[in-house]
Chain A
Amino acid sequence: MTAAGHLPAGPVESTLVGDGDEGPRRRGPAGYLLLLPGALWLVLFFVVPTITLISTSLYDPSGSLERGYSMTGHVQNYFDAIGDYSAQIIRSLMYALIATVACILLGFPLAYAIAFKAGRWKNVMLVAVIAPFFTSFLIRTLSWEYILGDNEPVVSFLRTINVLAPDGYLLDTPFSVITGLTYNFLPFMVLPLYASLEKLDPRLIEAGADLYASPFTTFRTVTLPLAMPGLVAGTLLTFIPSSGDYINSELLGNPRTRMVGNEIQDLFGAGDYPTAAALSVTLMAAIVLLVFVYVRRAGTEELV
C-alpha cells in the first residue's frame, strides 16, 4: 500500500497478508517451533497433494480405482482434456470474468458508501454485507431458483414490460448462472475494497478539489489509484473461486452452461482420475497465468 495514501496511523500499520515493518523480532529456535505444526500440515496436505495431483494427471488413463493406475508419464492426458473440454474451460473463465466485472460495478459503490457516506451506520452496513453469508451457500443459491423462476414476480414483470418475450425465462440460462456467481462472491469484492477505501484520508479528495479537479477527475486520479490494492485483492478473491465453481452452474444452469468444475467433479465420480487431474491442473495453470499477468499490470507491490 502506498504510504502517500494515508496519514501515519498508530504505532504500527497492519497489512492484511503482509510482511511490513512490524517491530522487533526475536531470534532463536522458538520461531521455527511455533511454525512447525502448521507448516507441516500445509506441506503434507497442500504441497504434497499438488504434486500427487500432477503425477496423477500423468497416469495411464486405462487404469481404474480397482485395478490401480500405472504411471506412464502420459502427457497425452492433457491434450485430451483440453481438447474435449476446451469449451467448458473458456466458458468458466468467461463467466468468472463477467461475474467479477459485475461485482466491481456493484461492489464499488457499496464499498465507497460504507467507507465515506455511512457515518454511524458503518458497522451496521458492514454486518449487512456479510449477513447473507450466515445462511448456507447452497441454500442461498437455491433461493435464486425461486427468485428467477418462471412464474415469479421478477420474470412476470420483465415479460409485462417486454424486456423478455412472453415465453422468455431467466432460469437455466447463462444469465442466471452469472447472477448466482456474482451474488455469491460480492462480499469478497466489497470487503477488501472497503478496507482499502477506509484507509484513504478524505482530505486527499478535498485537496484534489482544491487543485481544480472535477469530482470525476478526482475519482480517477486520486481515489481509484489509492483503492487499487483493495480492488486487486477483491478481483482475485472473486475471479479465482468463481472459475472453479460448479454449484451455480448445476443449480441455476442447463447442460449447455456446464463449467469446468462440473466436468472435473463428474470425471472423478466416474473414476477417470487421470483426465480429471489433468483438467484440474490445466484450470490451475490458466488461473495462475491470468493472475500473474493481471497482477503485473495492476502493479501491486504487496499482496502476499
Chain B
Amino acid sequence: MSALRGVGRWAGEHVVLILGLLVLLYMFVPVFVIVLMSFNDPGSRNSYSFDGFTLTNWQDMCAPYNMCSSLVLSLQIGVLATLGATLLGTLMAFAMVRHRFRGRSAANLFVFLPMATPEIVMGSSLLALFVSAGAAGVLGFWTILIAHILFCLSFVVVTVKARLAGLDPRLEEAAADLYANEWQTFWRVSFPLVFPGILAAALLSFSLSFDDFIITNLNAGTEETFPMWVWGAAQRGIPPQINVIGTIMFVVALGAVLIGSLGGRRRAGAT
C-alpha cells in the first residue's frame, strides 16, 4: 500500500517534468519523421507513406528539377540579408541603449511593429510599395533582399539590445578611467562583450531569412527560393529529397549550436 503511495508521490512531484518531456517529445516527432522519410522509396508521386527503404535519395540529392538552384538562391539571400540586418540593427541597438535622443519610445515602437505584424500583411505592404513605385516588372532578387533585411532588422535590434543592456556600464567608465578614449573603449571593451549577442542575432537573421515563405512568395517575381520550391513541390508531388535537405539542415544547425556551446564552455573554464 505504501509503495503505491510512494509511487503516487513521486509521480505527483514529477508530474510537471513528465508533462514537459512529453511536450518536448511531441515537438520532435516531425523531426523523426523527416529523417525517416529521407530514406523513403515512395510508391507514387503523391504517396505520404513509408513504402520502402533506400539510399538513392541521399546519393541523388539534386535530382529534383531546380531544387538545388533554389537552395543556392536562399543561401545567397540569407548571407546578404544577415550582413545587412546585423549591421543596421547593431548600430541601432547601440544608439538606443547607449545614447540620448528624442523620440526614444517612437523608435522602440517602430522596431517592435514589424515583429508584431503578420507576414501576409507585411508582404502585402511591400508588394503594394513595389508596384506603386513602378517596379512590378522587376520583382526578384533585390526586392526579396530588401524584404528580408526588413523583417530581420527588428530581431537583430531586440537581440543586441538585450545583450547590450545587460552590460555593466561601469565597465566602460572603468575603461575611460584607464586612459581609453571613446574608440578604444568601444573596440576593446564594449564590442567584445556584445559580440555574442551580435552573433546570436546574425544566426537568428539567417534562419529567419532562409526559412521565409509568405513574404518572399509575394515579392519574388520569377525568382524561386527554396521554401518557394517546396511549396511548388507540394502541389506537384513531393520528392523525398526534400526530407534529405530537411535532415541536412537540422544536422548542420544542431552541429553549429553544439560547437558554439562547447566553445563557450571551454572559454569560460580556461585557467
Contact = CB atoms under 8 A, between A and B. Distances in A.
Nearest to A267: B124
B67 interface: no
Given A139-B246, A244-B121, A109 B101 contact: no
B156 to A, nearest CB: 9
A83 to B, nearest CB: 19
A144 B111 CA distance: 34
Nearest to A264: B120
A132 B28 contact: yes
Given A46-B114, A243-B118, A110 B214 contact: no
Given A41-B149, A304-B109, A52 B129 contact: yes
A22 B109 CA distance: 18
B53 interface: no
Nearest to B132: A52
Q: Is the interface of B mostly helix, strand, loop or mixed?
A: helix
B97 interface: yes
B29 interface: yes
A133 B252 CA distance: 12
Nearest to B166: A14
A33 B98 CA distance: 13
A264 B124 CA distance: 8
Contacts of A287: 118
A246 to B, nearest CB: 7
Interface stretch (B2-10, B56-64, B226-234): B226-234
Q: How large is the interface on B (under 10, 10 to 19, 20 to 34, 35 or more residues)?
A: 35 or more
A41 B153 contact: yes
B95 A35 contact: yes
Contact of B217 (A14, A236, A265, A283): A265
Contacts of A42: 110-111, 114, 150, 153
B100 A31 contact: yes
B165 A18 contact: yes
A224 interface: no
B249 A144 contact: no
Interface in A258-293: 260-261, 264-265, 268, 273, 276-277, 280-281, 283-284, 287, 291
Contacts of A35: 91-92, 95-96, 99, 101, 107
A30 B101 CA distance: 9
A117 interface: yes
Nearest to B226: A136
A64 to B, nearest CB: 11
Nearest to A96: B118
Contacts of B119: 241, 244-245
Given A132-B27, A137-B227, A283 B110 contact: no
Given A139-B243, A140-B34, A134 B48 contact: no
B150 to A, nearest CB: 5
Interface stretch (A122-130, A160-168, A198-206): A122-130
Interface size band for A: 35 or more
B250 A38 contact: no
Interface in A1-21: 10-12, 14-20
Given A113-B19, A128-B27, A265-B120, A280 B105 contact: no
B113 interface: yes
A129 to B, nearest CB: 7
Given A134-B250, A186-B23, 6 more contacts: A25-B98, A25-B100, A30-B95, A132-B27, A140-B30, A236-B116
Nearest 4 CB-CB pairings of A with B: A244-B118, A113-B20, A31-B99, A23-B169
18 contacts: A23-B170, A25-B100, A35-B96, A35-B99, A42-B150, A50-B125, A109-B16, A110-B19, A127-B257, A128-B24, A129-B27, A135-B246, A137-B213, A140-B30, A147-B29, A245-B120, A247-B231, A268-B218
Interface of B: 14, 16-17, 19-21, 23-24, 26-31, 33-34, 37, 48-50, 87-89, 91-92, 94-101, 104-105, 107-122, 124-129, 131-132, 136, 146-147, 149-150, 153, 157-158, 161-163, 165-170, 173, 207, 210-211, 213-214, 217-218, 226-227, 230-231, 234, 238, 242-243, 245-247, 249-250, 252-254, 257, 261
Interface of A: 10-12, 14-20, 22-28, 30-35, 37-39, 41-43, 45-50, 52-53, 55-56, 65, 106-107, 109-114, 116-118, 123, 125, 127-129, 131-140, 142-147, 149, 151-152, 183, 186-187, 236-237, 240-241, 243-247, 250-251, 260-261, 264-265, 268, 273, 276-277, 280-281, 283-284, 287, 291, 303-304
